Structure 1
Amino acid sequence: MVSKTNLMSALLASVAMSSLAVAEEAGVVEELIVSATRTAKPASTIPNMVTVISPEDLDEQLTLATDTAGILANLVPGFSPSRQKMSGFGESFRGRSPLYLIDGVPQSNPLRDSSRDGYTIDLAVVDRIEVIHGANAIQGLGATGGIINFVTKKPDNSGDMKIGVQAALTTTDNLGDEGLEYRGSIYATQKIGNFDYLASASYHKRGLMFDGQGRSIGVDQTQGDLGDSEQRNLFAKVGFEPTENQRIQFTINDFNLAGDGDYGTLAGDPATGRPATAIAGSPEGEPGTNDVTTISLDYTHKAVADGTLTVQLYSQDFRASFGGGTFGSFQDPAIAPVGTLFDQSENNSEKRGARISWDRQGIGSSGVNVFTGVDYLQDTTFQRLIFTNRNWVPETKFENIAPFVQAELPFAGIFTLSGGLRYENAKLKVDDFQTLAGNRASSDYAVLTVEGGSPSFDDLLINGGLMVEPVEGWTIYTSYSEGFTMPDVGRVLRGISTPGSSVDTIFDLQPVKADNIELGTSVTMGRVQAQASVFQSKSSDGARYVADPDGFLRVQREKTRIRGFEAMLELTVTEELNVGANVSVQEGRVDTNDDGVLDADLDAVNIGPNRFNMYAAYRHGDWSARVQLAHLFDRDFTNAADALAAEFKGYDVVDLHIGYRLESGKMQLGVQNLFDKQYVTYYSQAGTTRGDRYFAGRGRAITLSYQAEF
């Protein structure tokens, strides 16, 4: 690993020096401000790698990838390739799970991870996406891989009512009805005295997807699919400013994404490379669904003890259903003959929380900034079987309170030292419950009673960083931060098969703690924006997913270590031409036999491939164009723990975007997979051996969109 580390360090230095060489005679560009750290800060002052997907970039990418993960994979180094499905299982960020937020409200469900937290809002109402790379605890539970914050549109302050509309149509080469995809959205916004509002409605109908050889792509019957689905989103934000320094804001987001259930799947054959395809018909049971309602009430006062007080109360009701089957785990001879009992599951989670913080910038003449507060979370989760009304995962209650303090100290004009503490105090409560009979198939389907319990956890999480700015616009940083999450408690509880088990004594329910060490540099000068980072993320008791015979996943606790290199470069060549690139290299190791030695590589379910993305964008008058390339490198899994495939064969995908600004709006043409490349997705190649999940990637898809504001 020494040679790899030296190579990464050399690349990091190369990015910094080449960027400075280009920018040394240019002025400083406008600084990006991000809120994912819970207080508005310039991106260059954060001692972590930061990616901000701007409104313009998001607008363009929505014509090139209509799934959230696809957009993140195109623009965020370290984010794994999209599965192009409703489920994000197998999609990771720096080899771990990210924490998804909407305006700071957590969307992740760590007690029973549905892998659906990236699909809780329509991107038509999102203004920008802020991404903080690496494990941290500033936003609380769940960010072992990083933070992905969807910042929604703000009400207009002009006083006039504004109405915005957007419509888009996506088709394949043959213009067939089965492959049509269309979406539309409308919003209205206005400021009336001290009140303002923004209301939005959007609808998205997706048909089947087709691969590079014109074959329909199979629909994931169990995990849920974006193909053959219907999506709608209602969103409203109302604000009131009683004084110049105060604001009260109420936000509601109601989101529903559901399969139409018009197609089944003909299983593919990984051995011969034949992917799964869709066949007309109505599969048994109900199609996969996400049904999510999120409400938040925010209060801000900018003059409390010379600082800013922020209070956020939030609530979320989350329901995710999955396709069914006669899986062995579902069988119970007391209900039906073994092998005939069909059922399907549904996750339910109710979160209630409060986030209180106080921010004081520049205390006295010292220049010290202080940020402190407390977070509270109550989460109640269970997973039931729909048709037999049995709880697969018992009702599980989680309560967490976490006070924190952060401080920044600038000194000597070029150094900034930062650090903080967060004390996590959590309690898990599970009453006595009975397992499914199928857990004990080898013992005549005996139903076990598991003794409940209330295990509690507490930990002091620390972070620290040092930033150096030798010249204006160029920073070098190093940081250490700790992230904290729960393992997938539901997977642990639903898989119990040992008599006499007690919730209080199950080690696998202990929290997962990830330590992130990072060294990086950032350049924001003139025509250049660049970042580079080397990092190491370690967990003494990490959580890795391993498949059982039904294909369901269980949690395996192991020592893990992930090392990597990420870099981004954006260069304004002329006033009309911009070029850019990003690269991500990751290596993960695990201890499979608990002897303290990291003896195997992470498998594809738990870490993404190395990748390189690049683009060129041209603007002239009312015209704009962008061409982008995503290259995924081959990866060998022969030494991976529980590898489901020996290797991953990489591929290249090229996308094209053309835009034209009209007097009354903007027309855009996007071509995803311009050259109609035939490939099998990363997860399907290396993350599963099941023929019914062996899916090709989407072939050429053409999107025409129009948007305007009146």
Structure 2
Amino acid sequence: MRKSCSLLMTGVSLIAMPAAAQQQAAATDGAIEEVVVTAARTKLPASALPLTVDVIGSADLAQQAAIGGSVVDAVSTLIPSFSPTRQKLSGAGETLRGRSPLYAINGIPQSTPLRDGARDGFTIDPFFVDRVEVIFGSNALQGIGGTGGIVNQVTVGAPKADGNSGRVLVQGTANDGFEGDSFGAKAAALLSHREGRFDATVGAAYETRGAFYDADDRRIGMDSTQGETQDSRSTNFFARFGYAVWEGARLDLITSRFELKSDGDYVAIPGSRATGLPGSAVKGDPPGVPAANRTESAALSLTDDDLVGGTLTSQLFFNRSRDTYGGEPTPIATFQDVRIAPIGTLFDQSQNRSRKLGGKIAYERAMPGFEDLTGTVGFDAIWDKTEQRLIATGRAWVPPTDFRSLAPFAQVNLALLDEKLRLAGGVRSENARIRIDDYTTLASYGSRFVSGGSPTFSDMLWNGGVIVEPIDGLRAYASYAEGYTVPDVGRITRAITRAGQDIDSFLDISPIISNNKEIGLEGDHGPFKGSATYFWSTSTKGQLLVLTNGVYEAQRQRIEIEGLELNLSYETPLPGLTLSGGYAHLEGRNDSNGDGKVDGKLDGANISPDRVNLAAAYAEGKITARLQAQFYLSGDVGSGTTFADFGGYTIVDSSIRYELPVGGVTLSIQNLLDKQFIDYNSQTQRLTDSQRFYAGRGRALTIGWDYSF
């Protein structure tokens, strides 16, 4: 704590730093004060909110997606307090500020908290995403799930003028050795038409991905169980239909169907942790059905920017996901049942099935006669049904679980002293119910009969903050916010081993309430822009992933996390050249013995390493270029008395774009220096498992052409 505070004071003394709207190196879409973040449920700009916010604009998102291939890679690369990605389909263990973020598309939750399948980062192709809004820290702005923050993907908007418009993209990717099976390709198109009050946008994207190679030109090992993005193909169909009901009011229907499937062309070869040799893969047929995920969603929204002097936003949504996990080469002990087959011979694999229905409505306006006071009232409702089945034998691993949440909320924002001082606050009343019928656990857990039930939970979630702007270009803020989510109920209920358990009295499925306190400074002086934020996050009954018999199970423990985030950018005298940097330091501890005091250090499955980001961006004339580096700093991470020695590593990426008479061509290079490294996940988790000991991807090249009309 003393070391962290010293770092904070040093950073503050060096530069004036933003916190209310944190500007990362890639955030180039206008001044901070002009950013309106839809995920914050208000029309007020980010500068009026006591929140740490980052917005990744469309150009920067396209640039990062060409380098890393996904929205998750873009967010992880640009935000130092986000975990390094696993470069796999599963995002298990990837966190923001040491907690799970809520992924959303236009405010529709993509996460499946009842049985967290960790596939929520791959539910839409980045081609259809206009910008990504990241709200840091625990909050209840979007309901359940935002204990680490919110990653809201805002899809492409309606066409602005009558007539036809659109965009096309064609690109290819390969390892720098141009091995035949490393080649991948992508084609995507979007067509829009507007005529009078009606507009329509339809599009499709198709991508194939080859095998990934490390810097030693060896195939990277396949996690055929949790799922891979390498050796896969994905399709995404997208549509948006809009109608201007009257002046200022719109009705929009947005639909999307995304599916990513492994081709299943390889089997894994274990590495050796003792010698440092990472796992690899050879051609072969893995057992069972290849891993895949599919997400279908639809949202109908009505907005009115001038309803009785205020703004109305409302939405009805449907979301359905089906995540299939592959089978292990050696039958998993958890799935064994002597009543079906001899021990050690029964093969099975699981599939998550989740369906969400929900609605949101909010009304915001300045108070008549007191225009400096803005108030918002609203109501959210969601119904979620999730189960995890074993598809080879038809058994239920996680019983069907129904979740219902009803939540009215209210927020106020008061501007004083000619907006030099702002006070903000609000409350959300969460009323949740979890319903599970009687069920019996798998034989490996003792075939325990568990009495079902319908426990209910109610909590008032508070938030408040103050923003001070003593002089132009300098802003300070302090805030407190509570977040709310359900634990991974599936991991908990499937692992019950004690006889006579009753769901109605089973406290381990009670919600997670986390609070987030933070202070920050924001500065904009000449060519310099910067930010500093320090936060404290606590949950008295949080959730920790603990490896048990080869499977991660959830344990409820007290968790305390604190951290420092710094960012600085400088517009150099050279026209078009901007230099930027960022730093994140996180410390997380847990209560491993249940005495109410934290005594253990969070491991790599639950917190990210310290990191420094550096970047140089150039945009002048027909050329746009970026050179970026992420320095993951070494250190011990672990839990209790078991520690992993994380060695750290550095990744350098680059991208350059040239505008042609028709469209533009982009060359992106991931891991420019072709650095060989073992990824953070492999260095800090499953420390005796050589099967899941993976190197990171070596140098990979992507060349693409896109054209907007």
Q: TM-score, normalised by structure 2?
A: 0.96
In the alignment, the residues of structure 1 paired with residue 597 and residue 571 of structure 2 have an alpha-carbon distance, to the nearest angstrom, of 47
Paired amino acid for 2:294 = D
Correspondence 1:39 to 2:51: no
1:69 aligns with 2:72: yes
Judge conservation of contact 2:15–2:523 (CA < 8 Å) in 1: no
**2:424 matched residue in structure 1:** 418
Q: CA deviation at 1:617?
A: 1.2
User: Would you say 1:595 and 2:595 are equivalent positions?
Assistant: yes
Offset, 1:7:
2.4
Equivalents in 1 of 2:79, 2:276: separation in Å?
29
Letter paired with 2:317: Y
Give distance in 1, aligned partners of 2:74 and 2:174: 19
Q: Deviations over 1:55-95 (max 9, x none)?
A: 11112112211133221121112101000000000111100
Contact 1:69/1:84 (<8 A) preserved = no
What is residue 400 of structure 2 aligned with on the other side? Answer: 395
Tell me how far apart the structure 2 counterparts of residues 17 and 350 of structure 1 sit (CA, whole Å): 42
For 2:470 and 2:280, the matched residues in 1 are separated by 57
**1:664 aligned residue:** 662
Mapped pair 1:674 → 2:672: yes
Tell me which residue corresponds to 1:481.
481
| Distance (whole Å) between structure 2 residues aligned to residue 681 and residue 396 of structure 1 | 35
| Long gaps (5+) in structure 2 | 20-29
Give unmatched runs, 5+ long, in structure 1.
Answer: 20-26, 441-446
* Residue pairs, 1:684-699, within 5 angstroms: 684-689=682-687, 690-699=689-698
Structure 1 stretch displaced more, 592-601 or 488-497: 592-601
Name the residue aligned to 1:359.
364
Q: Deviations over 1:462-520 (max 9, x none)?
A: 00010001122321000000000000000011111111111112121011111100001
Partner of 2:25: none
Distance 1:193 1:629 in 2: 47
Between 1:614-623 and 1:39-48, the stretch displaced more is 39-48
- Whether the 8 Å contact between 1:163 and 1:189 is mirrored in structure 2 is yes
- Is the 8 Å Cα contact of residues 29 and 527 (structure 1) preserved in structure 2? no
Q: For 1:502 and 1:419, how far apart are their aligned partners in 2?
A: 39
1:434 maps onto 2:434 in alignment: no
Say whether 1:567 aligns with 2:557: no
Task: Name the CA shift for 1:617/1:268 in 2 (closer, same or farther; >3 Å).
Answer: same
Quote how far apart the aligned CAs of 1:2 are: 2.5
Counterpart of 1:171, as a letter, is: A
CA–CA separation in structure 1 for the residues paired with 2:640 and 2:192 = 53
Q: 2:434 corresponds to which letter in structure 1?
A: L
Q: Which residue of 2 aligns with 1:24?
A: none
Deviations 1:267-303 (A, max 9, x none): 1112211111011001000111111101100011223
Q: Secondary structure at the match of 1:482?
A: strand
211, 215, 218: which is aligned to 2:218?
Answer: 215
* Structure 1 residue runs of 4 or more that deviate by more than 4 Å after TM superposition: 27-30
Structure 1 residue identity aligned to 2:485: T
Q: Does 1:256 align with 2:259?
A: yes
Match of 1:229 among 212, 216, 232: 232
Does the 8 Å contact 1:206/1:226 carry over to 2? yes
Kindly provide the CA deviation profile for residues 422-443 of structure 1, in whole angstroms up to 9, marking residues without a partner as x. 0000000001011111212xxx
514-523 vs 590-599, greater mean Cα deviation:
590-599
Distance 2:452 2:386 in 1: 15
User: What per-residue deviation string (whole Å, max 9, x for no partner) do you get for residues 352-397 of structure 1?
Assistant: 0000110113542341011110000100110000010011000100
Cα distance in 2 for partners of 1:595, 1:256 equals 45
- The answer on whether the counterparts of 2:538 and 2:561 sit within 8 Å (CA) in structure 1 is yes
In structure 1, give the amino acid aligned to 2:654. Answer: L
CA distance in 2, matches of 1:52, 1:192: 31
Question: What's the counterpart of residue 386 of structure 1?
Answer: 391
Correspondences of 1:284-683 after superposition (within 5 Å): 284-325=287-328, 326-361=331-366, 363-413=368-418, 414-440=420-446, 447-549=447-549, 551-574=550-573, 575-637=575-637, 640-641=639-640, 643=642, 646-683=644-681
Give, in angstroms, the shift of residue 13 of structure 1: 4.1
CA offset at residue 526 of structure 1? 4.7
Alpha-carbon shift at residue 30 of structure 1 (Å): 6.7
Counterpart residue number, 1:443: none
2:279 pairs with 1:276: yes
Q: Give the Å deviation of 1:245.
A: 2.3
Q: Post-superposition shift, 1:328? A: 1.3
The answer to whether structure 1 residue 128 and structure 2 residue 131 are counterparts is yes
8 Å CA contact 1:135, 1:515 repeated in 2? yes
Instruction: Quote the sequence identity (%).
Output: 41
For 1:541 and 1:502, how far apart are their aligned partners in 2?
Answer: 20
Distance 1:664 1:41 in 2: 38
Deviates more, 1:327-336 or 1:78-87: 327-336
Q: In the aligned structure 1, how far is the partner of 2:529 from the partner of 2:396?
A: 52
Alignment of 1:88 onto 2:88: no
Tell me if structure 1 keeps the 8 A contact 2:600–2:641.
no
Whole-Å Cα distance in 1 between the matches of residues 585 and 46 of structure 2? Answer: 23
Secondary structure in structure 1 of the residue aligned to 2:327: coil
In the TM superposition, what is the alpha-carbon distance from 1:619 to its structure 2 partner? 2.5
Q: For residue 691 of structure 2, give the secondary structure of its aligned residue in structure 1.
A: helix
Q: Is the 8 A contact 1:28 1:526 kept in 2?
A: no
Q: Secondary structure at the match of 1:618?
A: strand
Shift of 1:558: 1.0
- Residue 32 and residue 517 in structure 1: after superposition, are their counterparts in 2 closer, same or farther (change >3 A)? same
Does 2:155 correspond to 1:156? no
1:221-280 superposed Cα distances (whole Å, 9 cap, x missing partner): 110011101111000010001211211000101000110000010011122111110110
1:167–1:707 contact (8 Å) kept in structure 2:
yes
Write the distance in 2 (CA, Å) between the matches of 1:624 and 1:395: 51
Looking at structure 1, the residues matched to 31 and 132 of structure 2 have their Cα atoms a distance apart, in angstroms, of 23
In structure 2, what residue type is equivalent to 1:398? F
**In 2: Cα distance, 1:11 partner to 1:527 partner:** 18
Aligned partner of residue 393 in structure 2, secondary structure: coil
| Equivalent in the alignment of 2:9 | 9
* 1:140-179 matched pairs, under 5 angstroms: 140-179=143-182
Counterparts in 2 of 1:20-59, with a 5 A limit? 31-59=34-62
Q: Is 685-694 or 537-546 further displaced after alignment?
A: 685-694
CA distance in 2 between counterparts of 1:213 and 1:17 reads 41
- C-alpha change, 1:490 and 1:30, in structure 2 (3 Å) is closer
Q: In structure 2, what is the Cα distance between the partners aligned to 1:458 and 1:17?
A: 38
Secondary structure in structure 2 of the residue aligned to 1:216: coil
Distance in 2 of aligned mates of 1:642 and 1:278: 34
Cα offsets for 1:643-675 (capped at 9, x unmatched): 4x5211101111111110112111110111011
Counterparts of 1:642 and 1:239 in 2: how far apart (Å)?
57
* Cα distance, 1:421 vs structure 2: 0.3
Q: Secondary structure at the match of 1:59?
A: helix
- Letter of the structure 1 residue corresponding to residue 490 of structure 2: G
The CA distance in 1 between the partners of 2:226 and 2:379, in whole Å, is 36
In the alignment of these two chains, the number of paired residues is: 694
DSSP-derived class of the 1:493 partner: helix
Secondary structure of the 2:370 match is coil
The alpha carbon displacement at 1:324 in A equals: 1.6
- The match for 2:26 is none
Answer yes or no: is the 8 Å Cα contact 1:162–1:190 preserved in 2.
Answer: yes
Could you tell me whether the CA contact under 8 Å between 2:70 and 2:126 is conserved in 1?
no
1:566-616 CA-to-partner distances (Å, cap 9, x unmatched) read 012222113311111111100001111111221111111100000011100
